[in-house]
Each structure stands twice: as C-alpha cells, then as structure tokens.
Amino acid sequence: MTENDSHLRVERQLDAVAEESAIFLVKAFRGAVRMDEPENRILASAASSGIGAWTRYEATKSQRQQTDIIRSAIFARDLGGRQIDYLPDAPKQIEGGQS
C-alpha cells in the first residue's frame, strides 16, 4: 500500500464517520434521540469528536495543497519551467514519446 493509498483510505473512513456522526447529531438535536440516556450522551460525544477529526483532516489537507502551490511557484521561479511541473497532483504531459 502506497502512502497515497493510505491517505485515501483514511479520508474515506473519516468521510463515513463524519456522515454517520452528522446523521446522529441531527437526530439528537431534533429530539429523535433520548439524550437522558447515558449511552446516547456517549454516542453524541463520539459523534462530535468524529466530526472534529474530519474537520481537522480537511483543514490539514487544504493547508498541504496551499503549501504545494507556493512551493511549486518558488521552484518554477528558481529552477525554471512551469509551475505545474512542480505540483505533485498535476497531470504530467508525455513529450516526445517519453514519460
């Protein structure tokens, strides 16, 4: 498993956790879940933590993307070439039959 595969797996799992957490919390806020039961209070706390983890991951991912853009601009300025050449997720064009 590559590092990118690992990131995608974590991202998918956090997306699922956030989705299920949001469903539970909406039900709790609408009164469909009895919050006087200890189990439901624990679930609400876990759901809030799950959404917090998803939010932090998304913010970190955005920061990484912004850093990649700035880094690629610096490399293009200092080393020449196009900025897109230094972006890790940019599709690379095949020039002259070589990859």
Backbone angles phi, psi at 49, to 5 degrees: -65, -40
For residue range 79-99, list pLDDT tens digits in order: 988 888 888 876 655 444 443
- Dump pLDDT digits (tens) for 30-60: 999 999 999 999 999 999 999 999 999 999 9
φ, ψ for residue 12 (rounded to 5)?
Answer: -60, -45
pLDDT tens per residue, range 9-23: 999 999 999 999 999
In angstroms, the CA 16 to CA 60 distance is 18
Domain ranges of the chain: 3-61
What is the reported pTM? 0.71
Give the pLDDT confidence score for residue 13 in this predicted structure: 95
